[in-house]
Amino acid sequence: MNSPVFTGSGVALITPMQEDGSVNYKKLGELIEFQISNSTDALIICGTTGESKTLENEEHENVIKYSVEAASGRVPVIAGTGSNDTAYSVKLSKYAEKAGADALLLVTPYYNKATQKGLIKHFSAIASAAGLPCILYNVPSRTGMNIETDTYQKLSEIENIVAVKEASGNISQIAQIAQSCDLSIYSGNDDQIVPIMSLGGIGVISVLANILPRETHAICRYMLDGEFQRAREMQLKYLNFINALFCEVNPIPVKTALNLMGMNVGPLRLPLCEMNEQNLQTLKLRMSELELI
């Protein structure tokens, strides 16, 4: 198997905004320092949680460049460069490589989708254009399509396609990937860190880590060290809070939570908007239970 991009907890970092909706780079730098000082093992920039699809191209590039410079080699920086337009994803991936990113996160095409044959052509084109390690991102709930196990097998034959972020929620499929594919597996769901790592996964790309980076790292560390009971206890301890973080479309609750904690990460970009009152009260309750507010 190829060397992993990282093991442990990688944070799917939010993109902080000014009140006028522009990117708040000063706050982004503060968040990166917060993450690194609290044991996060990797930074995932401009993914779903980072509102990448409402970042203009120049903003997307600037956020990647700024994050690479701010991390300064202390932890890997993985740039979200996936798109439903193969040519655009190739262009952005080449930029990320030039900017010094350590790896790419490539979501399956959304809206126009693709056949499994089309997926192979899509990911192959990106991987061949940029020499960085590629992490495939399977999230059918957002994209409307699934990467099938046979497709993973074919894609794993490409040298720099090295891992997958699995957010399908399908434990049976994840077991099949672990059994038959030469790919590192990262949990894409915070409520499945322990189950996926028990099947051989090597970490998580996490929304929870925006709020609890040290604790998310610890769950992964316990699993990697064979301390399964301690990992299970932590997974269950934070389960209600994890559910609250996904009671509305990500990243609405996690960005709201950071603001409730006084982190001042700013507003969301439309079409994402503020939480409804009932869900907000649930989020506040779960945060209060953990003494986060």
250-253: which pairs have CB atoms within 8 A and are 24 or more residues apart? 250/48, 250/49, 250/207, 251/14, 251/48, 251/49, 251/50, 251/51, 251/207, 253/279, 253/283
Q: Do 272 and 249 meet the contact criterion of CB atoms below 8 Å apart? A: yes
Q: Tell me whether strands 184-187 and 42-45 are parallel, antiparallel or unpaired.
A: unpaired
Is 154 a residue of the active site?
Answer: no
Which one from 65, 95, 137, 238 is the annotated catalytic residue?
A: 137
| DSSP labels, 204-264 | EEESGGGT-HHHHHHHHHHHHTT-HHHHHHHHHHTHHHHHHHTSSSTTHHHHHHHHHTT--
Q: Tell me whether strands 42-45 and 77-80 are parallel, antiparallel or unpaired.
A: parallel
Q: Do 210 and 49 meet the contact criterion of CB atoms below 8 Å apart? A: yes
In one letter, which amino acid is 281? Q
Which one from 165, 186, 222, 238 is the annotated catalytic residue?
A: 165
Q: Which residues are catalytically annotated?
A: 137, 165
